[in-house]
Amino acid sequence: MDDNTAEQPAPVETVDSDPKPAASSETQIPTDLPPVEAIVEGPAWYVIHCYSGYENKVRHNLEQRIETMGMKDRIFDVVIPTQEEIEVKDGKRRTVERHIFPGYVLVNLTLSEESWYVVRNTPGVTGFVGMGNNPTPLRPEEVAQIVKRMEAEAPTVKVTFKVGERVRIVDGPFNDFRGTVAEIDMERTKVRVMVSFFGRETPVELDFLQVEKA
């Protein structure tokens, strides 16, 4: 579904390095733009693809271009869908903000050759999601689903283990015991671990936050 036509850049560790700024000549929109094949009346949400780890840079660059190129009346909002997530590392819990769709940014705009040009030529953007010069707008139900995930009151729990893997229990009466994951219940956020106890394998049901990879 991505429109990535460029080679993957250096590893994500270089994410904080600024992409090259747009040339000053780009403050003027060319008059000989390629045709946008599917014009949608009124504003809609579109998905643009960028290098994973560059989402914040792309949003910053695009917001600057919207300002300097006078496109506020056609490009209305730039959003990186994120949600809070709890992860356990070294027996400690911490809440982190995760990108729901790494490598993708949402843009609310009225599609035209000019708005397409401004977004498509933003440093770090590799293209719109869609076919050729035909960006595909998100359906209202897709937008509602994304917003629901972003506005979830309770953070999700990051699951770093899978069935068959060895884990260490970090909380509760079996603290520091090791065992093998037998079952993962995503709906209840529970995991069943087979623990060697008094010389026999005993199933123990735990919360996701009570275990970590051994």
* Domain boundaries along the sequence of the chain: 12-156, 159-213
Residue 22 forms beta bridges with which residues?
none
According to the model, what pLDDT value does residue 75 have? 96
> Per-block average pLDDT, block size 10, for the chain (214 residues)?
45 40 52 55 91 95 96 96 81 81 96 93 94 88 91 78 92 91 89 90 91 87
Domain 12-156, CATH among 3.30.70.940, 2.30.40.10, 3.40.50.261, 1.10.3720.10 = 3.30.70.940
According to the model, what pLDDT value does residue 106 have? 97
Level-2 CATH architecture, domain 159-213: Roll (2.30)
With tokens 């496109």, the residue in question is 71
According to the model, what pLDDT value does residue 4 have? 46
According to the model, what pLDDT value does residue 13 have? 39
According to the model, what pLDDT value does residue 14 have? 36
In this structure, what token pair is assigned to residue 33? 């733009």
Give the largest Cα separation in the chain, rounded.
79
CA atoms in the 13 A half-sphere facing the CB of 106: 20
The one-character DSSP state at 81 is -
